[in-house]
Amino acid sequence: MSDCLFCKIAAGEIPSTCVYEDEDVFAFRDINPQAPVHVLVVPKIHIGSVSEINSENAAAASRCLEVIGGIAEKEGLENGYRVISNCGPDAGQTVHHLHFHILGGVKMGEKIV
Ligand code: 5GP
Ligand code: ZN
């Protein structure tokens, strides 16, 4: 999608601090971190959110999940971390390109789940 922020970041058209990249996945530091480690993992193809995952694009979404463990290990999150994907307005999704937040480096406080 030509006007999608995370499509542009994943394509290197907008600068970011990349922590992982392969053919299908791009991961970078959140610009407004909510924890000492806050990484966003996105598919390189445009998928709007979890709601738009289907049989055609599921492999790209799944690749994001596959690499999270390795990123967390590299970031030193051996004590654990949280993975969040906001989907739609009630969840507060602000960027409409599927992304998984990896949050860690601190003991999580109040739990929502
Ligand atoms: P959402 O609220 O959609 O789940 O998460 C979007 C995330 O993208 C937010 O945590 C926000 O800080 C991050 N973000 C928004 N714009 C940029 C940007 O230009 N660069 C980076 N690295 N992160 C961004
Ligand atoms: Zn996109």
CA 40 to chain centre: 3
- Catalytically active residues are 99
CA 41 to chain centre: 3
Query: How far does residue 4's CA lie from ligand 2's centre (Å)?
Result: 5
Element counts in the chain: helices (H) and strands (E):
2, 5
- The predicted model scores a pTM of 0.97
Q: Which of 20, 18, 9 is nearest to 72 (CA)?
A: 20
Q: How far apart are the first and last CA of the chain?
A: 32
Ligand 1 pocket test: pick from 47, 95, 98, 102 the residue with the most ligand atoms within 8 Å of its Cβ.
95
| CB 86 near ligand 1, within 6 Å | yes
| CB 15 near ligand 1, within 6 Å | no
pLDDT tens per residue, range 69-104: 999 999 999 999 999 999 999 999 999 999 999 999
pLDDT tens per residue, range 25-63: 999 999 999 999 999 999 999 999 999 999 999 999 999
